[in-house]
Amino acid sequence: MPFNILVLSCLAYVIFLFLVAWAAERRADRGRLGWLQSPLIYTLSLSIYCTAWTFYGAVGYAARSGLEFLTIYLGPTIVFIGWWWILRKLVRIGRQQRVTSIADLISSRFGKSNLLGVIVTIIAVVAATPYIALQLQSVTLSFSVFASPTDDGFSPPGTEATAIWVAGGLALFTILFGTRNLDAKEQHHGIVTAIAVEAVVKLVALIAVGIFVVWVMADGPADMIARIDASDIADWNLQPGRWAGLLFAAGAAVICLPRMFQVMVVENADERHLATASWAFPLYLFAMSLFIVPIAVMGLERLPSNANPDMFVLTLPLAEGQGTLAMLAFLGGFSSATSMVIVESIALATMVSNHIVMPVWLRLRPSRAVSGDVRRLVLLSRRISIGVVLGLGYAYYRLSGGSTALAAIGLIAFVGVAQFLPAMVFGIFWRGATRIGAALGMTVGFLVWAYTLFLPSFGPDAVIPAMVFAEGPFGIGWLRPRALFGVATMDPLLHALFWSMTLNTVAFLTGSLLTFPGPVERMQGAAFVRVFDTTSDSPRGWERGLAEPEDLLVMSQRIMGDEDALTFFETEAKGQGKAGYLPDPTPDFMARLERRLAGSVGAATAHAMMSQLAGRATVTVEDLMAVASESAQIMEYSARLESQQEELTRTARALREANEKLMQLSIQKDAFLSQISHELRTPMTSIRAFSEILTEGDLPPEMVANYGRIIQDEAKRLTRLLDDLLDLSVLENGTVQLNLGLSNLSQMIDRALASASHTKPERSFTIDRDLPMENIFIRTDADRLVQVFINLISNARKYCDAQYPELRISVRQKGGRVTIDFIDNGSGIPKESQALIFEKFARLTDQTRAGGAGLGLAICREVMANLGGTITYLPGQGGAAFRVAVPLRLERKAA
Amino acid sequence: MTARVLLIEDEPNISEAIRFILSRDGCDVTTLADGHAAVAAVRAEKPDLVILDLMLPGLSGLEILNQLRADPATETLPVMMLTAKGQGRDREAAERAGANHFMTKPFSNDDMRAAVRSLTKG
């Protein structure tokens, strides 16, 4: 097949995947998740377990080693059917703790230790790099098999060129859909949907080739079975030790591979999907393995003896002249490779960015306070990490020369990631497991794996000198990489698996038994081990009142984005029975906020950020002593008591606040009457005094004019005050007549600015507007809304105390609501006064006699209530900041 | 001998009205709009009568009165309180603090003149 057509088909397929991912993202954005979150999609996404290695390599494996390839499918099957309660526990923990990766899970379990996060990340990257290289290799190999040189002398570009194009294209796809946003939980609907489609393509392709082999090349199943019996593959050459080892490695890998953890735990939308997957995924694996043996047998029979068995799936249809079928097989292999690389690089990039880049940045940045846009930094570091991960894969591919048999590399990776297993499984079942144990176990396991399996895989003299293989390092015989402690008779893979897992587990248990878990570790341990125990509360890591809510809000805005953070804080405050955006920093709230932040930046980083604001950098000695002296039961009992007591305290506080509010209302009413009296009598005094002076006569004409004007001014002031009072009373009673109509927001702001500017023209004032966003039509009472704008703009002009006063008006439209923020650069309104400003006559300082009677914001509040909107003060924005929210289309109330 | 009156009132128009009325009646009127400076001004000016508004920016009229009464030099100085609030409570508080006269805004010019005359007579 001409090379160009092949490239075009690949491009077309990739564009199709782009469209699928894009459409899924669009659906998810509009909140219509529907089938995007079905158990079927979940199960299909799990199929990234079947990489190019299983697609092409299984046939090669069968051709070389007979039925042993089945272990690769049986391992996961056993886990999904027999151990799905482990998976369910992992998924439940993942959802409850908002785990973002396997590194995050282990770090989070052992007291949010970033050391563990780093260890897991390093092991995962080292083990996955050859695996990614393997995918690149299989794609380039299939390219070169397929694209034979054409007659006109054109030959396809070198395999290096193909590999780099494939790596670059995958990086682009992954960055586009994998780092689109920094979601609270790292879920990628677009990518998961695209992977599900690829899962179908690879299954259909393999089955199509299988059917062709059995029913077209052979004469149906009976003939096929006869051919299989005749071949070597059927020799049931069972080596129990090796089988058991391979089953174990494959079973461990399906839990521990970063990409499997990503789709199984992180992308999981509903725990019940796992129940479906527990039978559907083994079924998928069964279907994938069904035709492996026939294809292998037929390949050995028909193809020349020097043909690469890893490519039989492709070369058999090609040899039979079945171009279309070969094309389908090619796309199946392409799908297997791309889906694996995409998810693996997302998973690794999340780990690298959350456990290496972010902590380093947190430590290096100059000031203690959280500054700068962390969101952008996280996304950038993810994008760069994806590039680096794929770059490493490509580099490994170039260096290794792409010659090793596919299966060997896959199994090496399996054993590598299996090193996470003891820390993970003990971590979720045994509360005595400690951070030191986990770190020791994984480090020892990793080193043994690298020494006995990974480094030797480069061949003698590549990394480890041949002499070391034969006589051991420095002539120490029992340290030979292939015969550790003198065990020389074992198969190298099994040897490595046995020693790495044994030493890993021993180191882990020894470390755990010899050390004592810290307080955070104990709490996390309890939360993980008892994740199904609904009566025990979430771990209490935070004490009351250590952090300022406003600081927390400022930090959260930088990580979660302004809108999300404000919404979250508002909901939390409402849950505590408070209005506004600043909830009390109760332990519950702090824990929820930490989990929420952990969804974006990982548990350890979130914990570190919160700790800094709560004023404790690490866990104190007192914490440690307190926990050490109490048994776990006492701790949980007191936690329950504490939660009950907290409930009582909250009720008492709500009552107290209600009582205070009533008292205040009564005082306010008196004060209001007294204020009205004062505000009315003041202009009256001038009017009366001057009119008496005028009637007494005997005045020069210019004084008559002057005093006449004072009378006029004061009469106007009186009228204005009465108008305001009347307005307020009408608005408060809800008897106001609204003139609804469509008006352009930009023009309304223009009107407000024009009329606010001639009230106090004394200062130059910079107004910063966002004209394109303002260009929307709102159905509302324009005059009333403009009245509110005028009030806010005049207030900024009067009270903004910056040297170069500035007012920023920003508009945002979301759903059926429009929010207009007015933020100036002055010193803002002190926290203790923020709750008062919307009350009548609440002019904050009497120093500034700015003309009004202090009814402006009270009127604004009532106007907005009548317009179906709100006006709120936004704390933590630098200057005074007001947010006006109106419905885009206000409908007339049914009277 | 002309009576010297110190008028402490923050509303400029009211201040102007009282100044005009009392000046025509033969008083020498000094005006002040700020509460903080009031006590020092009384000490410096040594007026015959202080007219004090109850609601002032800075220091309230009542606090100023308390300070004046606490100082032996101004203990017996005649003080007239002005208020726009017009509540009984304010009048009682002012009398308890030692105000010699209490006048509610708005007032008639005749009442103002009569009160000032009677307070500056001695």
Of A523 and A390, which is predicted with more confidence?
A390
| B109 contacts on A by Cβ (under 8 Å) | 689, 692-693, 696
* Residue among A682, A687, A714 whose CB faces B84 most closely: A682
Choice among A485-489, A549-553, A753-757 with the minimum mean pLDDT: A485-489
**Per mean pLDDT, which range of A280-289, A355-364, A444-453 is the poorest?**
A355-364
**pLDDT at residue A738 is higher than 80:** yes
Chain B nearest C-alpha distance from A748 (Å):
35
Q: Which residues of B touch A678 (CB under 8 A)?
A: 55, 84-85
Give A300 or A2, the one with higher predicted confidence.
A300
Q: Which residue has the higher pLDDT, A648 or A702?
A: A702
pLDDT of residue A450: 87
pLDDT, position A139: 81
Q: Quote the pLDDT of residue A884.
A: 93
Does B109 contact A at CB distance below 8 Å? yes
Is the separation of the CB atoms in A170 and A342 below 8 Å?
Answer: yes
User: Sorting pLDDT into bands at 50, 70 and 90, what band is A624?
Assistant: very low
Residues of A with CB under 8 A from a CB of B: 674, 677-678, 681-682, 684-690, 692-693, 696, 710, 713-714, 846-847, 849
**pLDDT mean over A524-541:** 61
The answer to whether the Cβ–Cβ distance between B84 and A847 falls below 8 Å is no
Q: Which residue of B has its CA nearest to A680?
A: B84
Do A681 and B105 count as a contact with CB atoms less than 8 A apart? Answer: yes
Task: Give the 3-state secondary structure of residue A1.
Answer: coil
Closest CB to B17 among A678, A690, A847: A690
Contact B107 A685 (CB under 8 A): yes
CB contact under 8 A, A846 and B11: no
Domain A630-735, CATH: 1.10.287.130
Between A693, A713, A847, which is nearest B57 by CB? A847
pLDDT value, residue A894: 42
pLDDT at A9: 82
Q: Report the b/e string of A51-75 with b at 16+ CB within 10 A.
A: bbbbbbbbbbbbbbebbbbbbbbbb
Tokens representing A779 are 């159905």
Reported as a pLDDT band with limits 50, 70 and 90, residue A882 is: very high
**pLDDT given for residue A632 in this prediction:** 40
Q: Which residue has the higher pLDDT, A238 or B120?
A: B120
Within an 8 Å CB–CB cutoff, is residue B88 touching chain A? no
A407 or A24, higher pLDDT: A24
Lowest mean pLDDT among A79-83, A387-391, A531-535, A550-554: A531-535
Is residue A290 pLDDT above 80, yes or no?
yes
Residue A864 identity: M
Comparison of pLDDT for A326 and A844, the residue scoring more: A326
Q: What is the pTM of this model?
A: 0.56
| Nearest CA-CA distance, residue A857 and chain B, Å | 22
pLDDT of A490: 67
pLDDT grade for B16, boundaries at 50, 70 and 90: very high
Which tokens in the block code for residue A438? 């986990």
B11 touching chain A per CB within 8 A: yes
- pLDDT score at A847: 37
In the predicted structure, residue A586 carries a pLDDT above the cut 70: yes
Residue A184 confidence (pLDDT) above 80: no
Question: Which DSSP string corresponds to A806-857?
Answer: EEEEEEEEETTEEEEEEEESS----HHHHTTTTSTT--S-SS---SS-S-HH
Q: How much is the average pLDDT of A225-232?
A: 78
As a whole number of angstroms, the distance between CA B24 and CA A639 comes to 80
* Most confident of the ranges A49-53, A369-373, A419-423: A419-423
Give per-residue pLDDT as tens, A475-484.
666 677 776 6
CATH 3.30.565.10 domain span(s) along chain A: 740-887
Q: Provide the terminal-to-terminal Cα distance of chain A, rounded to the nearest Å.
A: 75
The residue with greater pLDDT, A355 or A404, is A355
pLDDT at A110: 84
> Quick one: pLDDT at residue A537?
41
Span of A143-152, A605-614, A692-701 with lowest mean pLDDT: A143-152
Given A674, A693, A713, which is nearest B17 (Cβ)? A693
CB-defined contacts A:B, below 8 A: 63
Q: Distance, in angstroms, between B24 CA and closest chain A CA? A: 10
B80 pLDDT band, cuts 50/70/90, is very high
Is B98 at the interface with chain A, CB within 8 A? no
Residue A838: phi, psi to the nearest 5?
-90, 5
* Percent of chain A topping pLDDT 90: 6
d(CA B49, CA B5): 5
Mean pLDDT score of chain A, rounded to an integer?
Answer: 79
Helix axes A272-289, A70-82, angle to 10 degrees: 160
Put simply, the chain B residues between 34 and 63 with a CB less than 8 A from any chain A CB are 55, 57-58
Give yes or no for B12 touching A (CB within 8 A). Answer: no
Looking at chain A, the domain(s) classified CATH 1.10.287.130 span 630-735
CB contact under 8 A, B106 and A690: no
Chain B positions in Cβ-Cβ contact with residue A687 (cut-off 8 Å): 106
Alpha-carbon span A861 to A731, nearest angstrom: 9
Interface test with B, best of A669, A672, A675, A678 (most B CBs within 10 A): A678
CA–CA separation, A121 and A848 (whole Å): 60
The answer to whether the CB atoms of A681 and B107 lie below 8 A apart is no
Overall average pLDDT of the A250-268 stretch? 86
Rounded-to-integer distance, Cα A179 and Cα A173, Å = 10
Q: What is the pLDDT of residue B49?
A: 93
Task: Please tell me which of A15-29, A787-801, B10-24 the model is most confident about, judged by mean pLDDT.
Answer: B10-24
- pLDDT at residue A605 above 70? no
- Quote the strand ranges of A697-757, DSSP E: 740-744
Per DSSP, the residues of A861-885 read: HHHHHHTT-EEEE-TTSSS-EEEEE
The partner residue sitting opposite B85, judged by closest CB among A677, A710, A713, is A677
The CATH number given to A3-408 is 1.20.1730.10
Q: Which range among A271-280, A535-544, A626-635, A862-871 has the greatest average pLDDT?
A: A862-871
Question: Do the chains contact at A678 and B11, CB–CB below 8 Å?
Answer: no
A740-887, CATH topology level:
Heat Shock Protein 90 (3.30.565)
Give the pLDDT band of residue A818 (cuts 50, 70, 90): very high
Minimal Cβ distance to B108: which of A692, A714, A847: A692
Alpha-carbon span A821 to A886, nearest angstrom = 12
- CATH entry 3.40.50.2300 includes domain B4-120: yes
What percent of chain A is modeled with pLDDT above 70? 81
- Are the Cβ atoms of B107 and A688 closer than 8 angstroms? yes
Which of A672, A679, A691, A692 should we substitute to test contact with B (largest number of B Cβ atoms within 10 Å)? A692
Name the residue among A528, A527, A545 with its Cα closest to residue A646. A545
Q: Measure the CA dihedral B52/B55/B59/B61, to 10°.
A: 30
Strand duo A806-814 + B4-8: pairing:
unpaired
State the average pLDDT over residues A95-117. Answer: 83
Residue A873: name the closest of A843, A834, A830, A818 by CA.
Answer: A834
Q: What is the pLDDT of residues A389-410, one digit of tens each?
A: 888 888 887 777 655 555 577 7
Interface test with A, best of B14, B103, B111 (most A CBs within 10 A): B14
8 A C-beta contact, residue A558 and residue A370: yes
pLDDT at A462 over 50: yes
| pLDDT tens track for A449-458 | 888 888 877 7
Beta carbons of A781 and A810 less than 8 angstroms apart: no
The pLDDT value recorded for residue A567 is: 85
Q: pLDDT tens for residues A429-447?
A: 887 888 888 899 999 999 9
Q: Chain A residues with CB inside 8 Å of B113's CB? A: none
Q: Please judge whether B106 and A684 are an interchain contact, meaning their C-beta atoms are less than 8 angstroms apart.
A: yes
Mean pLDDT of A135-159: 64
CB atoms A693 and B20 under 8 Å:
yes
The answer, for B25 touching chain A at a CB cutoff of 8 Å, is no
